[in-house]
Structures are given as structure tokens and as C-alpha cells.
Structure 1
Amino acid sequence: MTELIPAPRSVVAGSGEVRLTALSQLYAGTATEGVGHWLRTVLCQATGLPLREGWELDDTEGDGIGLQLDLELGPEEYRLVSDPTGVLIEGGSAAGVFWGAQTLRQLLGPDAYRRAPLGRDRTWAVPHVTIQDAPRFGWRGLMLDVARHFMPKDGVLRYLDLMAAHKLNVFHFHLTDDQGWRVEIQRYPKLTETGSWRSRTKFGHRASPLWEEKPHGGYYTQDDIREIVAYAAERHITVVPEIDVPGHSQAAIAAYPELGNTDVIAASMEGAPSLSVWDTWGISPNVLAPTDNTLRFYEGVFEELLDLFPSEFIHVGGDECLKDQWRQSPTAQARIKELGLADEDELQSWFIGHFDKWLTARGRRLIGWDEILEGGLADGAAVSSWRGYQGGIAAARAGHDVVMCPEQQVYLDHRQAPGADEPVPIGYVRTLEDVYRFEPVPPELTSAEAAHVLGAQSNVWTEVMEDPARVDYQTFPRLTAFAEVAWSALPAPAERDFGDFERRMAAHYRRLDALGVAYRPPAGPLPWQRRPGVLGRPIEGPPPNR
């Protein structure tokens, strides 16, 4: 009972248990019907019990489950009471009830995470307990990069389930980059016809000489996106799409060359430019041209995106825009002069500012990586602070909202241990304990400034993750530690009881096993040491750019 993850705010244990039987019913009150459908589906799959629909709360008396709202609770707050009258989960909203249902699933044991019963008689029981719980942050995010290595739709849906099991509620969907464009835009078909495939893929990072000499790619149709967004919404997860501008755009330029700085590219190629989707890692020098044509093109992209994604925030990237082409381009220099800008940094701010105003006019909000601070922060924009804490501190002090995701703490593509045993030992060493001691709110901020910290996010960049097993290995169990940081009311980092977290993780690994997660084991031989080749070839390399 005390092995719950993330740790609840209050747990008061009782002395008995509620046993679920073939006669047990599940009642879902007004506005909780969707949670009831989800809970009945997963528990019926795992237990084989029918969990018939109850028509009133009294139907659950003694051995059933009731779900209902209590509007005196906070929006994501819940209260779970298991006692001789049955199990009752109340929440301040359907989301709160859903997070309580996730806790109930943990209380039922690891086999509650299976998709079919194990075929042997067993008792399904919920210990008597009263749990009061609420999240620390409203933004508890996971970013998944599907541009570097494409993840098919079913894999994305699986990660939404894994997020929900850990009470994470924002899925940052990194859909475009130099190495691939992954979302169908119907008015610009070449973005996926050309931009979603590259001719080959590099293993490891920039220092690695190994290549996979076969095409890699894929994309999501608009119907796929609608399905992903609806599936996420059923799990009270918001999907925030990212279309990267003005850098990290070579895949788009390969599809529509006029989007690039053609005057510079043509000169460097001694003729008409012929770019392809980038087949290596790092940062491409090819960035979008700051022209009216480019603005109109991406307005068209975002128009279709807004129809697909109802999220308040739209992520526009804005990071790692190499400005050499702008310095060399007569077109870009003429635009700087026309707008009365000081330099190329202000030109990028103008570019981001255009889409900030465009999105604001449509009732949405722009968010970008912390480079959008350079040259002046666009009005109303929020910041994803990835290059440490300083960008987030500066933005919060200027009154802008911030999501803290510093690479030094929560970039899950970085290695998990020192030495050559890690499959691709890149980046900083960030252990499970390092992630557990991550603190999203910098102590330098005043309470008023800290109120601008919307929450935290862990980022999964996939340059070195060529298949779902590698994504699992890099992401888990560290995502579990991150989830507790984002949800639970933990003390200061140095005072956190990592030993207690490890104790609870011993039970949680069994849940991850039932879910089929190929996590990095806490001890003993690593997966490829037991079965060579399971996670591909170990490759050395320098840290990623992001």
C-alpha cells in the first residue's frame, strides 16, 4: 500500500480489504462516465471480472467501485476511500477521478496492468485505505522526438498509456526536424511525400562512422493525429505539437526548396539547390528564409495543425537556428534593413513574434525553446527552458510562463551510468537518483516569479534510439522518478528519501514488467549482456545538441 508511485500526499491505512468479485459493480456519476469506461475496460481485461455497470452509488455497496465529482476538490485533486462500504473515488474534475483510478490500479497489484487474466484463480482486493492527493504542477510533460526515428502510431498510443500510468498530462509531440517531417499537411503534400523519408540513417552520434544504408521514415495521416489526440484526451493528456521554425527545417526545405535561403544555397552549390532530407545528426545550416512566402506557407501549416490539435499551446521550436545563411543572404539582409532590426538575432525574434501574434489572434499561445529569448522575447510567448535554468529564470522574471526541462537533469537520451556498458554512452551521466533530485523551481525566483513555472518536462530525443526497445531503455525507469518530481510534494532535493523511492520501485518494476516495458534494470547484467544485439550496437559519441 505504501509502494505507490508517484507518492500521494496523504495515506491513512485501514485494517481490512474490499474484494472484487463476479458480482461487483462499477458506478460512474455525472461527468465521470469516460473514466468509468476506461477503468472497466482495463480491469475487465486484467481480472476477467465483468464489473457490471451500477446505476446508482448504492450498487457498489461493500464490494464495488464508485466514481463521482466533488467540486470542493481542486481540478486534478482526488480522494480515494476503500472501506467496508466499497471503493469510492472522488475528484474535483474527471481528470482528478482518473488519477484516482490510476492509484486504484496500483493498489490492485501488478497483474492489474495485464491485458488478459493469467488463467489461474486469484483474489482481487483493494486494501482499506484513505488517500488524499493532488499534483504539485499543472504541466507534467514528456517530449517524444519522432523526427529522428519515426515511432509508428501504435507505439505513440502505448506511450500515452505509460504516461497516464505515471500521472503525466502533457505530451509534447516533436513532429518535424532536419531528419524528417512526420505530420500530413494536405495543402502541401510534398512535406510527407519527400520530407518524411531520408535515404539512410547514422547510428550513434556525430563522431560515429556507422550508417544504416537503407531508407528510414514514415508519417502520421491527419486521421492518425485525430486518433492520437482523442486517445490522449480520454487519458486526460494534452497533446502539444511542435513544428520547428526557423531552424531544424531541412526536411521542409528538401520538399519545398523555395522555403530556404536560395540565394545562398545556390551559390554554395554552384547552381540550382538540390537538398535532401538530412541523414546525419547535429544541426543543419539550412534554415528558413525570412520571406513573406515562408510566412504564408507556415501559416497554412499551422491552420491545418490548429484543426487537429485543440491544445492551448503550440510549440514552434525556435532553437539552434544557425544564422550564417542569413548573414550571407542579400534577401535576409534586406529584410533586416526594411524592419529596422539590429541583427540576425532580432530577425529570428521578428519571425517568432509573427507567429506569436498569429496564434494569439486565433486563441492559442506560442511556446518555444529558450533561444526565443535572444533578440527579445515575443509578447505572450512561453519558454521551454532546456539549456539549463537561466533561460527559465530570465523568462519568469520578465513575466513569461516557463516549462523547466534542463538538459543537465531531464534529457533521457543521456547515458544512465558511466563506462562503456551503456549501449550508446552519450551526454551527461544522469542516474535514476539524479533525476529524482531534479528541482523544477529555481531557488533564485521570488514566489511571484515562481508562479510562472507551469511545471516540468522530460525530453526523449531519438538520435540514438532506433527502435521501441531503445526508447524504453533510455526512458525507464528514469521517467518514473521524473513523474514523482512533477506530481508529488517532495522536500528540497538534498532532503529527498531516495532509499524509500528505491523501495517502492522494487514493486513498480513488476508493474513495468506487466506493461512490457524494456526498462534499464536496476542491477545485474544489462539486456545486451544477457542477449547480445537486443538493443543494437554500442557506439561512442559526443553529447547531443539538445
Structure 2
Amino acid sequence: MMRWRGAMLDISRHYFDAAFIKKTISALAAFDYNTLHLHLTDDQGWRLESTVFPRLHEVGSVRKQSQNNHGLLEPTYDGKEHSGYLTHADVRDIVSHAQSLGMQVVPEINIPGHTGALLAAYPQYGINKNSVEVSGRWGISDYLLRPFPETFEFLTKVFEEVAELFPSEYIHVGGDESLIDNWLQDAEVVAFMKENGFATTKELFIFFMKEVEKIISALGKKMITWDDAFAFDPEQATHATVMSWRGAAIAQIALDHNREVIQGPVFPTYFDYAQEVSVDEPLAIGGPVTLDDVLAFTPLAGVTGVQFQLWTEYIQTPMHAEYMMWPRAAALAYRCWGEGKDFESYFEKRKPKLDALGVTIRDLDPLKRAKIAHLGIGAYYRGFDTASMMEALEKSAVAGEVAHDF
């Protein structure tokens, strides 16, 4: 059976508490998932208590408001404060529950970009030490950590605390969508580049990630990054496991460079994408990613594993999150490591476990489907071309470019 059978839950964009996380673990375990990847930090929220740097959760977990329309549109906001974070006790409870079901919980602390919530708490580690607010807007931000010794000293203490809480073999450090040319806006960073012989910001990025790799390795952990961090320069990149989100081409290049690879391509493993284009579906970033799309997915030979992603910019409630996961999460399990002659019988055999947990499932019969369109934040956005988006992502990955947020 595939070694990494994963699910990613983003609790930064919208916070989901320990009870929901434990329920989700129970549901996933019924389909032989063995890894929950928790996306704990981003521009929109820091969701982990820190006794070492308490402002991370005191300041970084609170945003004034949230965007309530599609991220490709001029933003409008709900005017409502959003907050929440997992305490150390919460994490221990979650990890214990996961271990009892044969699952690991892998934390992600996203760096050097996607760091708005971190820098709202500790702006001295960001470009020009600019004052920052926790963002309520979706999409890629300009926030970026500076590549200085004091930054790595700070990150060492952060990751030491994370490693103590999460006994997993891996720590995920993000590395995606970092607008690294913004380093050139900081005169001290430019001077640092000259002093240390970095000709380009890509070289500086590789230096940054290698310093982080030293931190993670010293903690006895394996580092994971999104494929962006590898694709900038496959020959010079860290030895981190590559979590490939931009298609099979960059995943194969990583395999060819003897990296562990976890496949989680946007199409068809981003379960925040709509399941069909319909006004009866809640607002989503794009799509559709249908059940049949998931059932047609074929992983590359030699990958360590497969993972679906549930990003939560457009997902505010447990009911909505479950509606987006199920039955697509079951379909991915069936396709990549399940048994049986057909998906329907495979799912029906295990569905009673979801029912016993009270999980919301998007019924295959539209007449029996939970009506949750009202849970979305705004009208459904129709102007999306999944095929063109995937082609652009593949090209950006192979070229070693930062992908735009879709």
C-alpha cells in the first residue's frame, strides 16, 4: 500500500477546532488514510499556540475581517473578526487520537512567503521591518522573511517547539509562491546579497531553504516543501521531499532527481474546487473537479504518496468542509490504494462509518443532496478555465517560476 496516504486541511484561512480535526481524522482512517497534513500558518492566520513567541498566536491568530467574494475580483469584506488557534493541549489530543487510528499529523509552518500573520506579530523579521496586519484578503501577498542570522535563530526556536508537539517524521515548511524579487526592495538584503556573492534572488532563496533544512535536520525530522522550492533550481535545491501541486511534469523531474515525491496536483486533488459548475454549489476558487475526475487520476510510478488538499478561503464551516471532502476523498483512496471491483461498492461498504460520525456527504443523487449553497461567501464565480490554468501551472513549474494564485 502507498506509504503516504494524505489529506491536507488548511486551518489558517478559516479556523477549524480540535473536535472537527479529530472527527476528520476518524473519517479519513475509515478509508485507510495515514497522514493528516495541517496547514497551520499563512497570511490570514497563525493557528498554533507558542509559549516561546506568544505574539504569534496572540496577534497572528486574529484578523479584522475576511474577503467575502472571489479572489480574482476586487475584494469586498464581511467586517467580522475571525480568530482561533490550537493550544498545546489541543495538539496533544489530536496527535493521540490520530496515533490510535494509525495516522500521523504533519505540521506545516509556511516560509519564507505566506508569512503575513507571523510578521504581524514579529515585523522585525520581514522586508524593511514593515508593520504588517493579518490579511483578510485571499491570494498571494508580498510578505517575505529576511534571510539573516537572526531570522534563522527565530525559526530554530519556532521549529523546536513545533517538533516537540508533533512526533511525525516530517515537518512541512511551505516554500511556495514566494515573491522573492521583493527582497530587492530591502537595502539591507541587497547589501547582504553583495557581501555573500548572491547574484540573483533565486540563489538567495536556495540559501534560505538550505538554512531551514539544517534546522529541520538537526531536529531529527525530514523536510517537505511545495514543488516551487524545488523547481527554482532542481540541481541546487534542498533534499526535501517534494509535494507536487503543479502537475505531473515537475513531479517527474523531482523523481528523476531522486527526491521523495508526494503528488497533490490541483487537478484533481484540490477539493476546494467546485464539484460542478452550478448555482446550487457554494462559492469555490475554480473547477469543476468532479468525482469522475478523481476516479480517473493515475499517480506516477515511484511516488511516495498522494494527497488531497482542502484549502479554506471559501470554506467557513465544518458542514461545508465535509461536503467538499466527501465522497471525493473516498474516490481518491479507492483509486490510489483501495480494493474492490467498483467505487460504488467500495464506498457503500465504508459509508456507515461516516454516517456514524455524522459526516456531511455530497450525495450522488441531486435530490438527496445537502443544500449548502447558502454557506458559501458570495455568488459562484463562473469565469474559470481549469484546462488553461493547469497548462499555465505546468509551464511555470518546469520553468522554475512562481505560480500565480488561481
TM-score (normalizing by structure 1): 0.67
TM-aligned CA distance change 1:202 to 1:525, over 3 Å: farther
Matches within 5 A, 1:281-300: 281-300=138-157
| CA-CA distance at 1:506 after TM superposition | 4.8
TM-aligned CA distance change 1:245 to 1:541, over 3 Å: farther
Matches within 5 A, 1:499-518: 500-506=342-348, 508-518=350-360
| CA-CA distance at 1:513 after TM superposition | 3.0
| CA-CA distance at 1:378 after TM superposition | 3.5
| CA-CA distance at 1:503 after TM superposition | 4.5
Report what 1:202 is aligned to.
Answer: 67
Q: Secondary structure at the match of 2:215?
A: helix
1:476 equivalent among 326, 344, 357: 326
For 2:225 and 2:350, locate their aligned partners in 1 and report how far apart those are by CA, in whole Å.
34
Matches within 5 A, 1:95-174: 135=1, 137-174=2-39
Report what 2:391 is aligned to.
Answer: none
TM-aligned CA distance change 1:455 to 1:489, over 3 Å: farther
1:398 equivalent among 254, 257, 262: 257
| CA-CA distance at 1:536 after TM superposition | 6.0
Report what 1:248 is aligned to.
Answer: 114
Q: Secondary structure at the match of 1:202?
A: coil
Matches within 5 A, 1:340-379: 340-373=197-230, 374-376=232-234, 377-379=236-238
Q: Secondary structure at the match of 1:372?
A: helix
TM-aligned CA distance change 1:319 to 1:470, over 3 Å: same
Q: Which runs of 5+ in 1 are unaligned?
A: 1-134, 264-272, 442-449, 491-496
Report what 2:338 is aligned to.
Answer: 488
Report what 2:395 is aligned to.
Answer: none
Question: 1 or 2, which has the higher strand percentage?
Answer: 1
For 1:426 and 1:307, locate their aligned partners in 2 and report how far apart those are by CA, in whole Å.
35
TM-aligned CA distance change 1:228 to 1:435, over 3 Å: same
Of 185-194 and 326-335, more deviation after overlay is shown by 326-335
Of 188-197 and 414-423, more deviation after overlay is shown by 414-423
For 2:382 and 2:197, locate their aligned partners in 1 and report how far apart those are by CA, in whole Å.
42
Cα shift readout 1:152-187 (whole Å, capped 9, x = no counterpart):
110111111011111100111100000000111211
Judge conservation of contact 2:41–2:115 (CA < 8 Å) in 1: yes
TM-aligned CA distance change 1:161 to 1:208, over 3 Å: farther
For 2:312 and 2:61, locate their aligned partners in 1 and report how far apart those are by CA, in whole Å.
16
Q: Secondary structure at the match of 1:198?
A: coil
| CA-CA distance at 1:208 after TM superposition | 6.3
Q: Is residue 2:273 matched to residue 1:414?
A: yes
Report what 1:439 is aligned to.
Answer: 298
| CA-CA distance at 1:341 after TM superposition | 2.3
Report what 2:366 is aligned to.
Answer: 524
Matches within 5 A, 1:425-464: 425-441=284-300, 450-451=301-302, 453-464=303-314
For 2:210 and 2:264, locate their aligned partners in 1 and report how far apart those are by CA, in whole Å.
23
For 2:175 and 2:373, locate their aligned partners in 1 and report how far apart those are by CA, in whole Å.
40
Judge conservation of contact 1:201–1:211 (CA < 8 Å) in 2: yes
1:276 equivalent among 129, 133, 152: 133
Report what 2:54 is aligned to.
Answer: 189
| CA-CA distance at 1:251 after TM superposition | 0.5
For 2:70 and 2:382, locate their aligned partners in 1 and report how far apart those are by CA, in whole Å.
5
| CA-CA distance at 1:521 after TM superposition | 1.7
TM-aligned CA distance change 1:182 to 1:244, over 3 Å: same
| CA-CA distance at 1:324 after TM superposition | 3.5
TM-aligned CA distance change 1:539 to 1:404, over 3 Å: same
Report what 2:103 is aligned to.
Answer: 237
Q: Is residue 2:90 matched to residue 1:224?
A: yes
Q: Which amino acid aligns with 1:236?
A: G
Question: 1 or 2, which has the higher helix percentage?
Answer: 2
Cα shift readout 1:15-51 (whole Å, capped 9, x = no counterpart):
xxxxxxxxxxxxxxxxxxxxxxxxxxxxxxxxxxxxx
Cα shift readout 1:452-499 (whole Å, capped 9, x = no counterpart):
x11100010000001111101111110000111232369xxxxxx7xx
Q: Secondary structure at the match of 1:216?
A: coil
| CA-CA distance at 1:541 after TM superposition | 6.7
| CA-CA distance at 1:505 after TM superposition | 3.5
| CA-CA distance at 1:339 after TM superposition | 2.8
For 1:311 and 1:221, locate their aligned partners in 2 and report how far apart those are by CA, in whole Å.
18
1:389 equivalent among 238, 242, 248: 248
Of 472-481 and 354-363, more deviation after overlay is shown by 354-363
For 2:265 and 2:185, locate their aligned partners in 1 and report how far apart those are by CA, in whole Å.
32
TM-aligned CA distance change 1:274 to 1:312, over 3 Å: same
TM-aligned CA distance change 1:216 to 1:542, over 3 Å: farther
Judge conservation of contact 2:46–2:60 (CA < 8 Å) in 1: yes
TM-aligned CA distance change 1:254 to 1:535, over 3 Å: closer
Judge conservation of contact 1:240–1:309 (CA < 8 Å) in 2: yes
Judge conservation of contact 2:263–2:306 (CA < 8 Å) in 1: yes
Q: Which has the higher contact order (CA 8 A, sep 6+)?
A: 2
Q: Which amino acid aligns with 1:161?
A: S
TM-aligned CA distance change 1:204 to 1:194, over 3 Å: same
| CA-CA distance at 1:340 after TM superposition | 2.1
Judge conservation of contact 2:66–2:137 (CA < 8 Å) in 1: yes
Judge conservation of contact 1:144–1:173 (CA < 8 Å) in 2: yes
Tell me how many residue pairs correspond in the alignment: 384
Q: Which runs of 5+ in 2 are unaligned?
A: 385-403
For 1:359 and 1:375, locate their aligned partners in 2 and report how far apart those are by CA, in whole Å.
20
TM-aligned CA distance change 1:290 to 1:143, over 3 Å: same
Report what 1:103 is aligned to.
Answer: none
TM-score (normalizing by structure 2): 0.89
Q: Is residue 2:175 matched to residue 1:318?
A: yes
For 1:409 and 1:342, locate their aligned partners in 2 and report how far apart those are by CA, in whole Å.
38
| CA-CA distance at 1:420 after TM superposition | 2.9
Percent identical across equivalent pairs?
A: 38
Judge conservation of contact 1:313–1:367 (CA < 8 Å) in 2: yes
Root mean square deviation of aligned Cα: 2.2
TM-aligned CA distance change 1:309 to 1:511, over 3 Å: closer
Q: Secondary structure at the match of 1:223?
A: helix
Q: Is residue 2:381 matched to residue 1:540?
A: yes
TM-aligned CA distance change 1:457 to 1:411, over 3 Å: same
Cα shift readout 1:85-137 (whole Å, capped 9, x = no counterpart):
xxxxxxxxxxxxxxxxxxxxxxxxxxxxxxxxxxxxxxxxxxxxxxxxxx2x0
